[in-house]
Structure 1
């Protein structure tokens, strides 16, 4: 009777041990974090370069006057005003200049009268000389008087033109159509020649400039499209010029992109631009699968033992919820998407299937 009893005891103990192991496995499964997986796959993606730069005026003209010691009497424009070519932007006190111009006009008329008299005297004398009624020396003297009168008229005309030019300098006119961007003078102020008084953005034209390292500068070319995000809008432009070389100190080059006019961008705004350099293929994963820690990007995969394994990756551009992976993964690798932000190296996980959108909507209802 002892032998059957021992056998029965062994079976009972074995049964208890199996229940404990099953309970341990159930507890382990319940403690594992549920995650979903998605494969890394190749897809068509435009090649882009991200860089930041300022918006500046394509051509900003510094305007001033060419005479000194005159007081500003009128300033009919202000900052932000659109002006036309030839429009008066500023007027100086021109009373003295008007007086000088009037004096120069009078001197010119006097010289013209003397020239006309000298001409008539010479013509009459030439007829008399043909009849040998006056000497040749007298005719030569009259000819010299005529030439001298013509020279005096030319001198007076040049003086009149100079006086008129100085009078015109009293009115500062717009050299081109454009937008007044700065005003550095006030009415009543006495100004000097060469001093900047106003600034004009020619044709209101703006451009975007960016500094690129030499490895990225080789990827961009004239005609590439740029996209600038500002104030909730996307402004599209195109690259007009790229520097042919790089700076020896900074190892960077500059690109210049034309912007639409008018537009929401303002001079001095610093914005990030996306430069589309062409079409290509890229290895992509869902952006939600990327975890940033310690200043680096990581993704998690699941081992055969249902444990999380962390991998450092190098990322590229992100488009429509997917991010390009430059290094760290290969096509077909399964990465953790949902739950990736809560994982650590070696954590136990339980792979679940992400419900379809229709199932999730039905469940929500």
Structure 2
């Protein structure tokens, strides 16, 4: 027990100045002791947080993956003749064309000359055939009257057959010349959009070289590479949703690879985009493939904290000290996150202030309003 001030000051009663100084010192020491006691008894700083239970709900499951937007079919267009110069180019990149439309023309003057010669040869062969047929008709009339021999009649018949063969040969040559003349004009094989131009007016082209590229029917598709486990969940006809700057684009899975690549262990999903909107061929976008509905444990998205590349939630079993739990997440649906591992139904997790907490922090739990139930037709966002 501390000594009373009167007893401590008794030896100093003979010196008033010393007594006064000692009294002030004792008062300062006493005040400092009270401050230290008060600080020691004060509670540590706490953070007010809200908590919600882990709920089991039916959600729309999805597979989220990124992939390129590409043409459904991109046709490489060229000509079948060589050594001719481009005299006219009627289309440019981005232009919509129709089936049979002339895209470019080559210098066809030599081809026109060849065609004229073949037509003249055909006319000559037809005239020879007519003469041979007339000679045969007269010979048959004379043979009926026994005016010519049978061998002479046979010669007339052979002459007609030869004339028919010459006529067929001339017709085939005419058709070949006409075909080469037609090759001088490159026509669109189908409706579509010109996606690339590799030729200029005045250029001499070679047979088989790519001159233009056409997106057939203007159709685009989204292609995604999925791991074997995810590929097994996807079926033709499933809905695909792709977020763009102009809104969401909806597609439908057209085809799924029947197997996976042995090196990458991935397979390809092809999804048609009937209304691609702002999407363009070559874009690399993220899409969500809806694979069905199922029951899952969900927590509010605010409850999940990403740290060091992992997902965590915080619980407070005693209502004061938080505990950090590592979890594995799935789909995000209507502001809620699917929990695949790490939690059980009924457990309570922090949903307000989780981003400011650390393992072992003291908290003060406050009441939070009950969250509205998720809509039945909520669309999934990303899958972790």
Residue range with higher mean Cα deviation, 348-357 or 111-120: 348-357
Preserved contact between residue 101 and residue 164 of structure 1 (Cα < 8 Å): yes
Give the equivalent residue in structure 2 for 1:293. Answer: 307
Cα distance between partner residues in 1 of 2:213 and 2:298:
49
Per the TM alignment, residue 303 of structure 1 is displaced from its structure 2 partner at its CA by: 3.1
Cα distance between partner residues in 1 of 2:249 and 2:314:
37
Preserved contact between residue 85 and residue 202 of structure 2 (Cα < 8 Å): yes
Query: Are 1:322 and 2:364 an aligned pair?
Result: no
Q: 1:28 aligns with which of 34, 38, 43?
A: 43
Give the equivalent residue in structure 2 for 1:13. Answer: none
Aligned pairs (5 A) from 1:184-333:
184-261=198-275, 263-304=277-318, 306-333=320-347
**Structure 1 residues 61 and 284: CA distance shift in structure 2, 3 A:** same
Structure 1 unaligned residues grouped into runs of 5+: 1-18, 358-365
Query: Are 1:78 and 2:82 an aligned pair?
Result: no
Structure 2 unaligned residues grouped into runs of 5+: 1-34, 372-384
Per the TM alignment, residue 356 of structure 1 is displaced from its structure 2 partner at its CA by: 8.2
Per the TM alignment, residue 231 of structure 1 is displaced from its structure 2 partner at its CA by: 1.4
Cα distance between partner residues in 1 of 2:370 and 2:134:
109
**Structure (1 or 2) with the larger CA radius of gyration:** 2
Preserved contact between residue 204 and residue 261 of structure 1 (Cα < 8 Å): no
**Superposed CA RMSD:** 1.9
Preserved contact between residue 297 and residue 344 of structure 2 (Cα < 8 Å): yes
Cα distance between partner residues in 2 of 1:22 and 1:235:
64
Could you state the TM-score of these two structures normalised by the residue count of structure 1? Answer: 0.89
Cα distance between partner residues in 1 of 2:121 and 2:348:
96
**Structure 1 residues 133 and 336: CA distance shift in structure 2, 3 A:** same
Q: 2:176 aligns with which of 146, 152, 162?
A: 162
Cα distance between partner residues in 2 of 1:174 and 1:228:
31
Aligned pairs (5 A) from 1:58-97:
58-97=72-111
Cα distance between partner residues in 1 of 2:296 and 2:229:
19
Could you state the TM-score of these two structures normalised by the residue count of structure 2? Answer: 0.85
Preserved contact between residue 246 and residue 278 of structure 2 (Cα < 8 Å): no
